[in-house]
Structures are given as C-alpha cells and as structure tokens.
C-alpha cells in the first residue's frame, strides 16, 4: 500500500518522534507500517523515508539506495559522493554519532519538500546504534552517501529537515538545479 507523504508545514515533521519497544516493533501494526513505508519509498522513488513523513510520529525509518538510482550519475559523481548501493534496511530508535565534522557538502532533496534542493553540509562518517525490524540491536558504521542518508532520516525523527541545515543561498527548484547548478 502506498501511503500519503506529508509536506513541509505539517506539524508531525517538527516533533521529536516517539520510541518503539521491541514488542511494538514485532506487532502487526508496525510490521505493516514498515512494509507500506518500503512500498511508498520505492514508489516515490526515494532513498529513505521516516515515519513522520507518512504522518506517524515514531522513531522508525526505512532506507534503500538501489543501483538503479545510480545509472544517471557519472563514475566521478559516484566517487565524489562515495555513493554505493545500500540494501533495504530499517532503523528504529536510532542514536547517531558523527565521526567526522559536518564539512562535506552536497545537494539534497526531500520527499516532504518535493521539487526543491539545497546544499547541506554533513559528516562524512557516522555510527548509528538502533534496533532493526525484528527489535534486535544493530550498529551501523557508514561513510559517504550512506552516512548522508542516515543523517537526513534521523533528522526527520528529531523534528528537523534539511532546510534547517542548508546553505540557504543554494536553495533551488529541482528544475533550476538541473539547469544551472548541477555539475
């Protein structure tokens, strides 16, 4: 089932989302939500989707960066961004540790702010401790684009959006980004 993605301005996007217990995670309601979020993310398409983006104030996000999403990028773009495929995964109740300063800047977009992009500085390397879709503890060490995706989605769970960290002079419509700014 494809869920409705809420847009910037909806109060749910600015709340600190609620944590889930292991029992919550294993419940049919949350397992269905995970499946619907995966379908919604893939339909959009996007590389991540946080529960607040579908109106659920829960510490839950899904991530997947498919090889298909890389086909329009040059080898140089992929190398610069350290972008590699990321298999589907679920992060619940994540805690993030920045292992490098937030000094790597690339343009980002967001499914809750469709049609726009801006340059956002992010840490190149992060460590995330979380629970998976079975309620099992997991630690993720990520770098490059994968680290960027994790930071973006975890921001959503803490009531933040990329526009809070963007370099405001780079904010652009997707059309103007592709016409004037894309390298």
> Cα(77)–Cα(57) distance, rounded to whole angstroms?
34
Q: Residue 181 corresponds to which tokens in the numbers above?
A: 């700014």
> Quick one: pLDDT at residue 177?
87
What is the distance of C-alpha 141 from the center of its chain? 16
pLDDT, average across residues 16-38: 98
Q: Where are the domains of the chain?
A: 11-181
Does 108 participate in catalysis according to the annotation? no
What DSSP assignment string belongs to 74-140? -HHHHHHHT---EEEEEEEEEEEEESS-S-EEEEE--TTSTTEEEEEEE-SEEEEEEE-TTS-EEEE
- Looking at domain 11-181, does it have CATH number 3.90.45.10? yes
What is the distance of C-alpha 107 from the center of its chain? 13
pLDDT in tens, 68-102: 999 989 999 999 999 999 999 999 999 999 999 99
pLDDT in tens, 134-161: 999 999 999 999 999 999 999 999 999 9
Backbone dihedral angles phi then psi of residue 47, each to the nearest 5 degrees: -100, -5
Active-site residue, selected from the candidate residues 64, 153, 169, 175: 153
pTM, full prediction: 0.96
């Amino acid at each position: 089932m494809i869920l409705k993605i809420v847009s910037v301005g909806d109060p749910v996007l600015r709340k600190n989302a609620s944590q889930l217990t292991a029992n919550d995670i294993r419940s049919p309601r949350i397992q269905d939500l995970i499946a619907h979020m995966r379908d919604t993310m893939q339909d959009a398409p996007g590389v991540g989707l946080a529960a607040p983006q579908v109106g659920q104030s829960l510490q839950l996000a899904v991530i997947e960066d498919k090889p298909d999403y890389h086909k329009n990028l040059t080898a140089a773009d992929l190398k610069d961004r350290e972008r590699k495929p990321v298999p589907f995964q679920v992060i619940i109740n994540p805690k993030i540790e920045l292992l490098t300063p937030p000094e790597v800047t690339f343009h980002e977009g967001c499914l809750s702010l469709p049609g726009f992009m801006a340059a956002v500085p992010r840490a190149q390397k992060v460590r995330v401790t979380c629970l998976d879709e079975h309620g099992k503890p997991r630690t993720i060490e990520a770098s490059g684009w994968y680290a960027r995706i994790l930071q973006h989605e975890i921001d959503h769970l803490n009531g933040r959006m990329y526009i809070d960290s963007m370099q405001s002079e780079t904010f652009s419509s997707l059309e103007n980004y592709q016409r004037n700014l894309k390298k």
